């Protein structure tokens, strides 16, 4: 079985990309609404996985770091796609609905 590993440069690239996405999004809806609460939950998960990825990278666990940053971006992308988060029309950072 082949062994695969991801370079720290590639992981850092995706950490930066997800950090940009986190800075760009905003919550859609009114504070206190169910949709707003769901968006907040999504962002909690995004931040947790992004933080985990940074931790794993510092610990030398590159494969775990890469997996975690991809989960982070998947969560934020899903939030935008489902309409809980506003991706500001950025097709580079998010998979937007048509």
pLDDT at 61: 94
pLDDT at 95: 81
Q: Two tokens at 58? A: 């510092």
Residue 98 belongs to a domain? no
pLDDT at 97: 66
Residue with tokens 């009114």: 30
Residue-range definition of the domain harbouring residue 41? 8-86
pLDDT at 98: 59
Residue 30 belongs to a domain? yes
Residue 2 belongs to a domain? no
Q: Could you give the number of structural domains in the chain? A: 1
Residue 55 belongs to a domain? yes
Residue 3 belongs to a domain? no
Residue 57 belongs to a domain? yes
The model scores a pTM over 0.85? yes
Residue with tokens 């975690």: 68
pLDDT at 2: 66
3-class secondary structure for the chain?
CCCCCCCHHHHHHHHHHHHHHHHHCEECCCCCCHHHHHHHHHHHHHHHHHHHHHHHHHCCCHHHHHHHHHHHHHHHHHHHHCCCEECCCCCCCCCCCC
Residue 45 belongs to a domain? yes
Cα–Cα distance measured from residue 65 to residue 54, given in angstroms and rounded to the nearest whole number? 7
Neighbours of 55 (CB within 10 A): 13
Residue 70 belongs to a domain? yes
pLDDT at 63: 93
Q: Look up the CATH number of the domain holding residue 26.
A: 1.20.1270.90
pLDDT by position in tens, the chain (length 98):
767 788 999 999 999 999 999 999 999 999 999 999 999 999 999 999 999 999 999 999 999 999 999 999 999 999 999 999 999 988 888 887 65
């Amino acid at each position: 079985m082949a062994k695969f590993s991801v370079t720290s440069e590639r992981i850092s690239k995706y950490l930066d990309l997800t950090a940009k996405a986190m800075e760009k999004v905003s919550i859609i809806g009114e504070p206190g609404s169910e949709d707003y609460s769901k968006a907040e939950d999504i962002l909690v998960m995004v931040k947790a996985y992004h933080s985990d990825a940074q931790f794993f990278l510092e610990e030398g666990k590159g494969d775990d770091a890469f997996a975690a940053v991809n989960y982070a971006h998947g969560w934020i992308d899903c939030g935008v796609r489902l309409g809980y988060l506003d991706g500001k029309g950025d097709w580079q950072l998010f998979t937007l609905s048509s």
